[in-house]
Chains A and B, each alone.
Chain A
Amino acid sequence: MTRRILAIGGLWAVLLIILAIQAPDFFAPANLRDMAVTNAPALVVAIGMTLVILSGEIDVSVGSQFAVLSVTAGILAKSGLPLPAVAALTALAGALLGGTNGLLVTGLGIPSIVATLAAMAFWREFLRWTTQGAWIQGLPSTFQWMGLTQAQGEIAIVSSAVLLFAVVAWTMSNLQLGRAVYAVGSRHESARLAGIPVSGITFGVFALMGTFTALAAFLDSVRFSQVQPSAGMGLELKAISAVVIGGTSITGGKGSLWGTLMGVVVLAAIAPALTFLGVNAFWEKAIQGTIILAAVVLERSASKGGPHAR
């Protein structure tokens, strides 16, 4: 894990040095602020994804959930409810969506990649079918920035994400509950014999993932005055990539939220950095893939070959 962080940190440092020489404007406070606001929702999703992956599972349905929950938030706001109630109900809806995934995994014993793959297709198509792509327009004027000024709203969005990060990071390393997630991800059977309610933890992690996705959808939606139902395309890949770049083992049990934070920062910076450097957009995906591959290979190249596992 440390090797990967070193490797990524190295790549990252090179990018920063190039940027500092070629395009120092990248570090202008306004740019950093905009990047922080734009990526705060992605961080919230990545926090949830870290827990899911630490517990040895995966959730590829977050992008679709994000879209459903954005629309939910928009509709609730449009119906005239006060914003705190909108946020709470959206979070509840998210917990239900996530809980459904959790039940498919723990109750019915479906491997999480299959269960969430099905959920991903289901919710995306469901939303297309019901909304037919129509945007939610004509929201109350207090929706954007939650009725605050733009500057206050931006601070509120970023600080919510950071606060959530701090709480979860502290819980994961200091509370029994956090250790239990690691234990479940390391080895189900041992965790069960140690008296940890494996199914309960797994279920809880999925429900939490849904809740976090709801929070992210809410934080993302209030940056705008309209809601688009096609939101969150590819969000699952972004979140999983961030977690993996951050050194969390995809097989569970190993990793940390700090790594994820770094992963989110790296991924958030790539697209703007390439624009600042004047690199042609056509190569962006290739560069992103190379970075992930390089991260994995660099980290593994010297480590002792563990068992072949996913």
Chain B
Amino acid sequence: MLVENRAGGERALFLLILLEIAIFAYTGPNFLSAANAFEVVRLGAELGLIALALTPVIVTGGIDLSVGSMMGFCAVAFGYLWRDAHLPIAAAAGCTLLAGILGGALNALAITRFNAPPLIVTLATYSLFRGMAEGLTRGVDNFSKFPPDFLYLGQGYIGGVVPAQAPVFAGFVLFYWLLLHRTTRGRAFRAIGFASEGARWAGIPVNRRLALAYTLSGFTAAVASLIYVAHLGQARADAGTGFELLAITAVVLGGADILGGRGSIWGTMLGLAAIVVLQNGLRVSAFPAELAGILTSAILVVAIAAGRRTKRTAHVTVPQENEEDDMKNSQLAVLSAVIIAGSVIVAASNWWLVQSVTGKTPAVPFAAPSGPTAATKAPHRPTIAIMPKAKGDPYFVSCRLGAEKAAQELGIDLIWDGPTDLDPAKQNEVVEAWITRGVDAIAVAVVNAPGISTVLRKARAKGIKVLTWDADALEDARDYFVNQATPQGIGDTLADEANRILKGKGDFAIITGALTAANQNEWIKFIKARTAAKYPGLKLLTIRPSDDDRNRAFSEAQTLMKVYPKMQLLMAISAPAVPGASEAVKQSGRDDVKVTGLSLPNMCKPYVEAGVASSVVLWNTLDLGYLVVNASKQAVEGTLKPGVTSIDGGRLGKINIEGTQVVLGKPLVFTKANIGQYDF
């Protein structure tokens, strides 16, 4: 009976994937091509390995939340062993796999030896592994320039078609399938998942089998991290962030019971395919990235609910319960309907109110042009695809407003999409999707230069004009870089501001975004260099993270003011951190502490006007968005070409071109005197 149910669930999942393919084949240009199919495999490999690793764990009724963090730790360990310990690449890889096994063994030890619940143990190691990765690299360091032979594993194509990681992945699928479905160990996992005590009485060495599942999980995460590093060409502490949740979703979607006892490799692969195809299809169709999360969760709920329903009706045989159940069911159905309707009302009113309150237009869900209509428009409207570093970031939101204005003025089709959080791997995936879709120009605000350059080169080879903005890729990977201000320009301006506010002497502290944020770390480097060289009276006390959270910045600022009572300046270099730090200073009532930093004028206006924040540094983000679209259009039309020294920037006037850099100008310094003139 169970087998039948499982097959039913898998059939439904299979139909779902077919449905996704059918829809995206219609909405996404070139979605249905062999090249795209292989791309999907490439994108699925790392997540797939993690999902494979989690399948036996979940079948035993356990869970492993530490796999994503383990990837971060392994990536850093690998980079460290290769670059700093000078091991050959193979030896470094070998040691990394060993580290993965040890990490998995640590989980296994705590779970079997101390009988601690897996959820808590792996919650702890989730923090521990990521923390070790951040500690080892001090958040800043990252490792790149790996030899091409190694990068081939993540970027190469066997015979020019098949992605190099595909065979590795296939090998692991086979291995896990054999383990789970063709060995006594696989049966033992199931038995433990159904009833661990029963399994023990039946003579199964429960602890040893559990240890195997968790250790394998660590090992497989290490393999995934190697492929991830080869794919992006860079090893950083943030590798694999969030993979655990997506992988668990894939496994559970594939019909595994989160409570243990049920689950199959075939199901996990179907669940994985459903997620990866959905993500890829949405991107190729230029639908907003946020839909991926929304739809995945909806599918998950429906799939599990359907599965549970059939299972329950198949199992419940106690007769006297039925009547009561029926009655309860009808009541529940009514109650469900009411509550779900209520949630929908909350959601819809929220949406409507947000629209009316913000008075902005960006939330139009399907603003992006859909393929067929765009194609029928006469004669040729260039399609320009622009990617921010992270979509929800207020900084990029205001860039988008400028870009949309330019798109209207200049008569182009604009696709604005990207990851919803800082994620180098997802940026690559979006670019891949745009290449598949076939756009005229791509402009990317780069999170990870070595990581994205391979795919940008591929886009150029296909005749797409490639620009970068906000942060550059490797120089040979793009045609032009729209440069709003160099990291040095920003660092220098901030240091100059600190000097001006402190009048040449005093202590200051920096509140940054995430400790691993590459941008901020670059700025800090130049701030330090400038103060060391020019302003000997300034002393940098410490650097604290805010994780781009206003509230965290607030708490950090509060603590800093108490730990360093003589500190006179807080420099917050992440957009939400400036209002956070300013609010802390305001609430403390201390007027000897000032705030400066890098942020958007609108969210800082109350504090600048009240004199809490002395100044805010930024360039005009509306102009930046405008210029990116303008320059992209001119690159497509050929008015921006090598040898040109200036272009017509529309409302921005004449824009200088220096080599391959389109220069916006110097950063603005907003103070009490001028902040009222800006609205973004």
Residues in A with CB closer than 8 Å to B116 are 296-297, 300
Across the interface, name the chain B residue whose C-beta is closest to A97. B343
A106 to B365, CA, bound (A): 33
Residues in B with CB closer than 8 Å to A131 are 354, 358, 363, 392
Q: Which of A97, A106, A225 contacts B583 (CB 8 A)?
A: A225
Across the interface, name the chain A residue whose C-beta is closest to B312. A109
Query: Is B639 among interface residues, defined by CB-CB distance under 8 A?
Result: no
> Given the known A-B contacts A114-B252, A128-B290, A281-B515, are A286 and B420 also in contact in the complex, defined by CB atoms under 8 Å?
no
Q: How far is the CB of A120 from chain B (nearest CB, A)?
A: 8
**Contact across chains for A300 and B114 when beta carbons are under 8 A apart:** yes
A308 to B112, CA, bound (A): 8
**Contact across chains for B110 and A125 when beta carbons are under 8 A apart:** no
Interface 9-mer from A10-18, A161-169, A179-187, A287-295 = A287-295
Interface 9-mer from B123-131, B481-489, B624-632 = B123-131
Interface 9-mer from A44-52, A133-141, A170-178, A256-264 = A133-141
CB neighbors of A among B544-567 (8 A) = 544-545, 547-551, 554-556, 558-560, 562-563
Query: Is B89 among interface residues, defined by CB-CB distance under 8 A?
Result: no
**Contact across chains for B606 and A128 when beta carbons are under 8 A apart:** no
What 0/1 readout, one digit per residue, does chain B (279-307) give for beta carbons within 8 Å of chain A?
Answer: 00000000010111110111011001100
A106 to B333, CA, bound (A): 11
A241 to B128, CA, bound (A): 13
A133 to B389, CA, bound (A): 13
> Given the known A-B contacts A121-B297, A125-B294, A281-B544, are A111 and B603 also in contact in the complex, defined by CB atoms under 8 Å?
no
A281 to B117, CA, bound (A): 29
Interface 9-mer from B159-167, B334-342, B439-447, B614-622 = B334-342
> Given the known A-B contacts A126-B347, A282-B138, are A289 and B124 also in contact in the complex, defined by CB atoms under 8 Å?
yes
A293 to B107, CA, bound (A): 10
Can you pick out 29 interface pairs between chain A and chain B where the beta carbons lie within 8 Å of each other? A71-B354, A100-B342, A106-B332, A107-B335, A108-B308, A115-B301, A118-B298, A121-B245, A122-B298, A128-B290, A131-B363, A132-B391, A133-B391, A134-B394, A135-B603, A224-B554, A231-B549, A240-B123, A275-B544, A278-B542, A282-B137, A284-B131, A285-B127, A285-B128, A286-B134, A289-B128, A289-B129, A289-B131, A308-B192
Query: Is A250 among interface residues, defined by CB-CB distance under 8 A?
Result: yes
Query: Is B357 among interface residues, defined by CB-CB distance under 8 A?
Result: yes
What 0/1 readout, one digit per residue, does chain B (41-64) give for beta carbons within 8 Å of chain A?
Answer: 000000000000000000001110
> Given the known A-B contacts A284-B131, A286-B128, A307-B197, are A132 and B563 also in contact in the complex, defined by CB atoms under 8 Å?
no
Query: Is B222 among interface residues, defined by CB-CB distance under 8 A?
Result: no
> Given the known A-B contacts A129-B290, A131-B363, are A100 and B121 also in contact in the complex, defined by CB atoms under 8 Å?
no
Query: Is B17 among interface residues, defined by CB-CB distance under 8 A?
Result: no
Query: Is B602 among interface residues, defined by CB-CB distance under 8 A?
Result: yes
**Contact across chains for A103 and B335 when beta carbons are under 8 A apart:** yes
**Contact across chains for A99 and B339 when beta carbons are under 8 A apart:** yes
Q: How far is the CB of A110 from chain B (nearest CB, A)?
A: 5
Query: Is A82 among interface residues, defined by CB-CB distance under 8 A?
Result: no
Q: How far is the CB of A91 from chain B (nearest CB, A)?
A: 12
**Contact across chains for B131 and A288 when beta carbons are under 8 A apart:** yes
Residues in B with CB closer than 8 Å to A160 are none
Residues in A with CB closer than 8 Å to B225 are none
> Given the known A-B contacts A231-B551, A275-B544, are A100 and B343 also in contact in the complex, defined by CB atoms under 8 Å?
yes
CB neighbors of B among A245-265 (8 A) = 250-251
**Contact across chains for B248 and A241 when beta carbons are under 8 A apart:** no
**Contact across chains for B131 and A31 when beta carbons are under 8 A apart:** no
A305 to B448, CA, bound (A): 47
Residues in A with CB closer than 8 Å to B290 are 125-126, 128-129
Residues in A with CB closer than 8 Å to B335 are 103, 107
Q: A31-B562, A226-B550 are in contact. List 5 more A-B contacts (CB 8 A).
A: A120-B297, A229-B392, A308-B196, A310-B61, A310-B118
Most buried by B among A25, A110, A229, A250: A110
Query: Is B579 among interface residues, defined by CB-CB distance under 8 A?
Result: yes
> Given the known A-B contacts A96-B346, A121-B293, A271-B555, are A290 and B392 also in contact in the complex, defined by CB atoms under 8 Å?
no
- Ranked 7 nearest A-B pairs via Cβ: A286-B131, A289-B128, A285-B131, A289-B127, A125-B293, A133-B392, A118-B297
**Contact across chains for B354 and A75 when beta carbons are under 8 A apart:** yes
Q: How far is the CB of A220 from chain B (nearest CB, A)?
A: 7
**Contact across chains for A121 and B296 when beta carbons are under 8 A apart:** yes
Q: Which of B293, B298, B300, B393 contacts A124 (CB 8 A)?
A: B293
A58 to B63, CA, bound (A): 14
Query: Is B309 among interface residues, defined by CB-CB distance under 8 A?
Result: yes
Across the interface, name the chain A residue whose C-beta is closest to B125. A289
**Contact across chains for A286 and B132 when beta carbons are under 8 A apart:** yes
Query: Is B259 among interface residues, defined by CB-CB distance under 8 A?
Result: yes
Q: How far is the CB of A98 from chain B (nearest CB, A)?
A: 10
Q: Which of B124, B292, B393 contacts A293 (CB 8 A)?
A: B124
Interface size class of B (residues with CB under 8 A): 35 or more
> Given the known A-B contacts A225-B583, A233-B549, are A250 and B120 also in contact in the complex, defined by CB atoms under 8 Å?
yes
Across the interface, name the chain B residue whose C-beta is closest to A283. B135
Across the interface, name the chain B residue whose C-beta is closest to A102. B339
Query: Is A211 among interface residues, defined by CB-CB distance under 8 A?
Result: no
Binding site for A on B (CB under 8 A): 61-63, 110-111, 114-121, 123-132, 134-135, 137-139, 192, 196-197, 206, 210, 245, 248-249, 252, 257-259, 288, 290-294, 296-298, 300-301, 304-305, 308-309, 312, 328, 332-333, 335-336, 339-340, 342-343, 346-347, 350-351, 353-355, 357-358, 360, 362-363, 365, 391-394, 396-397, 400, 420, 515, 542-545, 547-551, 554-556, 558-560, 562-563, 576, 579, 583, 587, 602-603, 606
Residues in A with CB closer than 8 Å to B355 are 130
Most buried by B among A229, A293, A297: A293
Query: Is A309 among interface residues, defined by CB-CB distance under 8 A?
Result: yes
Across the interface, name the chain B residue whose C-beta is closest to A298. B114
**Contact across chains for A113 and B391 when beta carbons are under 8 A apart:** no
Residues in B with CB closer than 8 Å to A202 are none
Q: Which of B62, B342, B602 contacts A310 (CB 8 A)?
A: B62
**Contact across chains for B259 and A297 when beta carbons are under 8 A apart:** no
Across the interface, name the chain B residue whose C-beta is closest to A135. B603
**Contact across chains for B583 and A297 when beta carbons are under 8 A apart:** no
**Contact across chains for A297 and B110 when beta carbons are under 8 A apart:** yes
Across the interface, name the chain B residue whose C-beta is closest to A60. B245
> Given the known A-B contacts A292-B123, A292-B124, are A23 and B563 also in contact in the complex, defined by CB atoms under 8 Å?
yes
Across the interface, name the chain B residue whose C-beta is closest to A203. B335
CB neighbors of B among A7-29 (8 A) = 23, 25, 28
Q: Which of A72, A103, A228 contacts B350 (CB 8 A)?
A: A72
> Given the known A-B contacts A132-B392, A134-B394, are A109 and B305 also in contact in the complex, defined by CB atoms under 8 Å?
yes
Across the interface, name the chain A residue whose C-beta is closest to B395. A133
Q: Which of A97, A226, A281 contacts B603 (CB 8 A)?
A: A226
Q: How far is the CB of B526 from chain A (nearest CB, A)?
A: 20
Residues in B with CB closer than 8 Å to A220 are 551
Residues in B with CB closer than 8 Å to A309 are 61, 117, 196
Q: How far is the CB of A251 from chain B (nearest CB, A)?
A: 7
**Contact across chains for A290 and B336 when beta carbons are under 8 A apart:** no
A288 to B350, CA, bound (A): 36
Across the interface, name the chain B residue whose C-beta is closest to A103. B336
A198 to B349, CA, bound (A): 33
Residues in B with CB closer than 8 Å to A229 are 392
**Contact across chains for A224 and B117 when beta carbons are under 8 A apart:** no
Q: Which of A96, A128, A136, A231 contacts B391 (CB 8 A)?
A: A128
**Contact across chains for B245 and A117 when beta carbons are under 8 A apart:** yes
A237 to B242, CA, bound (A): 13
**Contact across chains for B358 and A38 when beta carbons are under 8 A apart:** no
Across the interface, name the chain A residue whose C-beta is closest to B555. A38
